[in-house]
């Protein structure tokens, strides 16, 4: 089986990860060069974006591949530039994170070497399952980071847990809003129970996080 990553795809994923990680830790990242930034917070930000954004997108990708589709991560150059522009000119006060996404085509092609014998029968069902993979990963990581936060004392691991929890809850909650082209619109359209099963715990954690705090 050949690689399931197209030429340049891995470098695109790394660029998106770096840009988004720098964006959410901008003040501390810049501060590293002047001696006032926190390396601990920067590392926590990189871990958070790896789980909240990159693994979210890879969830879409590999579930799509498993179900017989061609799926590639592509950078959105305007989104990448806008992410950098906003964070630089707001000095880290505003973060707009849209550096790229996974694009899916209907049929797996042998030229890409995908190891899949599955072929879609109900396009809306397939779309729902593929869409649910991303927020489902966010929910799982949010619970894992919250468990870590409750289990460890204040320090480096708790910083990682806080960043990971906040980013996964934030991105997962946003993506479950039932408005196109967000994941939630495709999930709720096909199966209300699945949509509520993913959305309600994410929205509840979001409400607690941003009203009560952690």
CA distances from 28 to 21, 22, 93, 128 (A): 11, 9, 12, 38
State how far Cα 188 lies from the chain centre: 19
Q: Is 9 a catalytic residue?
A: no
Distant-in-sequence, close-in-space partners of 76: CB < 8 Å, separation ≥ 6: 98, 99, 100, 101
Residue that has been written with the tokens 């779309």 in this structure: 127
Distant-in-sequence, close-in-space partners of 13: CB < 8 Å, separation ≥ 6: 54, 57, 58, 73, 100
C-alpha span between 55 and 140 (Å, rounded) = 11
Report DSSP letters for 37-101, one per residue: S-HHHHHHHHHHHIIIIIIHHHHHHHHHHHTT-EEEEEE-HHHHHHHHHHHHHTTTS-----SEE
CA-CA-CA-CA torsion sign (170, 203, 207, 146): negative
Which position among 9, 57, 126, 166 bears the catalytic label? 57
Catalytic sites, residue numbers: 57
């Amino acid at each position: 089986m050949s690689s399931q990553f197209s030429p340049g795809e891995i470098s695109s994923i790394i660029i998106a990860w770096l840009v988004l990680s720098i964006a959410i830790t901008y003040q501390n990242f810049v501060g590293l060069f002047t001696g006032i930034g926190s390396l601990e917070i920067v590392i926590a930000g990189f871990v958070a974006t790896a789980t909240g954004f990159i693994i979210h997108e890879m969830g879409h990708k590999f579930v799509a591949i498993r179900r017989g589709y061609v799926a590639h991560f592509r950078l959105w150059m305007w989104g990448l530039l806008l992410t950098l522009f906003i964070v630089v000119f707001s000095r880290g006060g505003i973060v707009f994170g849209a550096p790229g996404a996974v694009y899916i085509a209907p049929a797996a092609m042998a030229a890409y070497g995908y190891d899949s014998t599955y072929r879609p029968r109900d396009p809306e069902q397939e779309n729902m399952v593929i869409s649910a993979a991303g927020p489902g990963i966010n929910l799982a990581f949010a619970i894992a980071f919250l468990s870590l936060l409750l289990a460890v004392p204040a320090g480096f691991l708790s910083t990682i847990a806080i960043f990971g929890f906040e980013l996964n809850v934030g991105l997962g909650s946003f993506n479950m809003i039932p408005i196109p082209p967000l994941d939630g619109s495709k999930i709720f359209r096909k199966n209300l129970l699945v949509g509520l099963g993913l959305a309600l715990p994410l929205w509840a954690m979001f409400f607690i996080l941003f009203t009560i705090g952690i």
